Structure 1
Amino acid sequence: MNDFDLLVVGSANADLVIGVERRPAAGETVLGSDLAVHPGGKGANQAVAAARLGARTALLARVGDDAHGRLLLESQRAAGVDTGGVLTGGAPTGVALITVDPSGDNSIVVSPGANARLTPQDVRAAAGLLAAARVVSAQLEVPLETVAEVVRTRAAGSRFVLNPSPPGPLPADVLAACDPLVLNEHEALFMLADSDTDVDGDGPGGDGGDAGGHAEDDPEDWARELLALGARSVVVTMGARGALVAEGGPDAATVRVPSPRVDAVDTTGAGDAFTAALAWRLSLGEDLVKAAAFAVRVGAAAVTKEGAQASFPTAAEVSAL
């Protein structure tokens, strides 16, 4: 019997946010707002989002033995996440230093801290936790070799979900395990930019690379190309336009899943909420299209509130959307 619907393996950061009238130039100092500290990190966000929906969720991550680490642990426990797999020490808790101007544009510097110390050995030591999960979800804010060890260590019957953010080269065995590979439109193009060799690219929202011969406005083609590279299934998220699902090989049919119309307030963390919801519904045995249809509703609900973890809806809130 599986003890957990979902095990999330990934990052846990403290988001340190300051509002500024304008970002400083080199050598310049500007005054900002009071510092706001929020729990974040893609792994921690996904775990909270899933647990808030009702999933039996566990988190495998690493935080520092410091105030930020305690904040992150408290946030997880408050949402109902099992934190037995959260390791402490090795480096300070990861932080994201964020400045936000009046237009909402932000600049972010991330110090991975303890996230970079989550090792393959940590994964092997948590083999019992991986064996207890129906679905394992990961991202790329922890070392790639750690994600690769997750693929090797997980239970034979479990399903592996990967959000390749920030995108980088993926080993063939990791890509072949993705069921699905969940990525947004920017990440899809970046992942396909050098698809003749490795799957790689820049971080989401960056200048990106040349998409080569890939159609720049055709998510169906992107999904098929990613399937041809080895992913077992692909989900491309498209914001207010919903998501695109493809599975079954490079000639597979694709299905567009529309999103409900909402008044968006803040899109922070919406992708994490989507991925968490998708992974949970897959753990319940739903097919990929049906799971994606639920996930777009969760993502839509998340953008109607400010913040990341604070915006994640309960199942009742999703039903009321």
Structure 2
Amino acid sequence: MPWYPRVTDERLRRLCGGRPAVVTGAGSGMGRELAHRLSAAGVRVLVSDIDDAALGETVTSSPGGGAPLVAAGLDVADADAVAAYVHDVVGREGPPALVLNNAGITMVAGVHEEDDRHARRIMAVNFGGVVNGTTAFLPHLEAAGGGHIVNTSSAFGLLGAPAQSAYSASKFAVRGFSESVQKQLRDNGSPVRIQIVCPGAVHTAIARRARYVDPAVRDFVTRGFDHRLPGTRPRAAAAAILSGVVAGRDRILVGPDARALDIGVRVFAGALQRPLATITGPVFRRMIVA
């Protein structure tokens, strides 16, 4: 298990150096907890989400005594909208020190039953949102002398998951894009760091908000995800992410399941799929044909 420093208010303030932080997908789950933790440390946080009502809940539920949250509706898949948002943020607040590209959606369906339009939407949000946020903010962070861009992939960006083909594809794409930009920035001597988050199971609303072809599958998956599947709570996931950022980790693994999967993929490579299928196959077959 990697060692991460404890996340203190002072460490977070020093990380940001008086500049704001940006969190996309802040309407719930990890995004909300990341925003609240940074705000509690005294960091001014710019939060966005496509769901205005959920974003409003993030603002109103923020613990008192911290820095204010500044909210804006945003579809991260819309490159022009992201560019306009970044222009507005930098013009009003100055270049952020920390950008957390966190927005994400999913669908649970067998490959033959997938909704093609929603599969493309998943790629546009999960991967396109990361590309849009990274490319729009990067020049401003470089001009300001440095900063961190933190892109959310997934444990399913390490190993593909049945009934999650579009989601897994998007998260592999996030990891590949981010690793490529990591190397480019290092080779160029850039002061900006790209860091990749790979969460395992985190008990957010993503399973309940996923697209399902069959309502029976929705009930089966959400019951299992919410009540039977071991996982990390959003607040603990946010703490792990920020700890990894402070520690300077290139890849931040969240949860013991993500760490175990990362080791398994590194050690066994392609040979890991078959034994895992023996364990998980009955569950995923029920998800697909329920």
TM over 0.5: no
Which gives a bigger RCO, structure 1 or 2 (Cα 8 Å, sep 6+)? Answer: 2
**TM superposition score normalised by structure 1:** 0.39
**Whose strand proportion is higher, 1 or 2?**
1
**TM superposition score normalised by structure 2:** 0.42
